[in-house]
Amino acid sequence: MASLRRVKVLLVLNLIAVAGFVLFLAKCRPITSKSGDSFHDIHPRAEVANLTAHGISSIQDAVLKRLSLLEDIVYRQLNGLSKSLGLIEGYGGRGKGGLPATLSPEEQEKAKGPHEKYGYNSYLSEKISLDRSIPDYRPTKCKELKYGKDLPQISIIFIFVNEALSVILRSVHSAVNHTPAPLLKEIILVDDNSDEEELKAPLEEYVNKRYPGLVKVVRNQKREGLIRARIEGWKAATGQVTGFFDAHVEFTAGWAEPVLSRIQENRKRVILPSIDNIKQDNFEVQRYENSAHGYSWELWCMYISPPKDWWDAGDPSLPIR
């Protein structure tokens, strides 16, 4: 805590210094006379105040360099939060680019117990960065679409119960990294009465320090089930749009804009983005083919091939009803 306060104080002091530089540049602009007199006639200390474009550029470069240094200091401080949990930040490491991640023979032995407990390789998840890059499988036309700047804000709601901490935090990091800041109102973590200790104080302390004011934690006092847990998340949400997700997902760039645009056009719409697969054994990201999502009469989720008129349109960026 003390080191974090020192970083904050250092950041504030340097921001004040930057503001001082800006004021200095504004005050020391070369002054010209309306009567055509040279600057030297008006200000005898021109050699001090008359900063050339090169001089201003040098000062700006120095300021940017200092800010970059501060950013590195703050990042290292924040990165230390994940290290204390035995987790990793950054865009490299195992599983980078959505490729299969692997364990050594010794690590594979240690991974057996957690794998059986969670239904996925949670031990391997701890070796994969919370910020890892994943492939962008959107059709080219989707990437070319442009959206307005007045889109509504979204509250992202994750429901979990006894999920692996690394998987939950990767979901959070992924949402923050790939949702434009003006569109992300908040992230709400709804704990449906987990009994894992790492999901209590360690989780709450991490998100409060790493994303202060952005991530909220809602805890049910008894197991409520998925639907009631979602309702509790909805009650806590303040965004214009709410999005409900499992706490074991990873977002790609550009996911939010088309969703929010469709809802802006018609607030009664319920939107389900195209969902690729993350393999449970090695966390490889696997592209799913174009499909709609629906339900059988027994309410089992089904992947449905798009109708003929959608294929005939020849535009993969169109929504599938």
pLDDT digits (tens, 9 = 90+) for 132-152: 999 999 999 999 999 998 999
- How much is the mean pLDDT over the chain? 83
* Domain 145-278 homologous superfamily, CATH: Spore Coat Polysaccharide Biosynthesis Protein SpsA; Chain A (3.90.550.10)
Opening angle at CA 302, ends 301 and 306, nearest 5: 140
Token representation of residue 138: 């959107």
Whether the model pTM is above 0.85:
no
User: What distance, in Å, lies between the first and last C-alpha atoms of the chain?
Assistant: 51
The DSSP symbol for 128 reads B
Per-residue confidence (pLDDT) for residue 78, from 0 to 100: 58
C-alpha closest to that of 161 among 219, 80, 78:
219
Which residue do the tokens 């990793």 mark?
Answer: 88
Token representation of residue 216: 């909220």
The full set of domain ranges for the chain reads 145-278, 289-320
Type of residue numbered 86? G
pLDDT digits (tens, 9 = 90+) for 227-238: 999 999 999 999
Q: Are 256 and 154 in contact (CB under 8 A)?
A: yes
pLDDT band per the 50, 70, 90 thresholds, residue 67: low
Tell me what the mean pLDDT of segment 29-51 comes to. 41
Q: Are 176 and 59 in contact (CB under 8 A)?
A: no
Q: 201-210 and 53-83 are packed helices; what angle lies between their axes, rounded to 10 degrees? A: 180
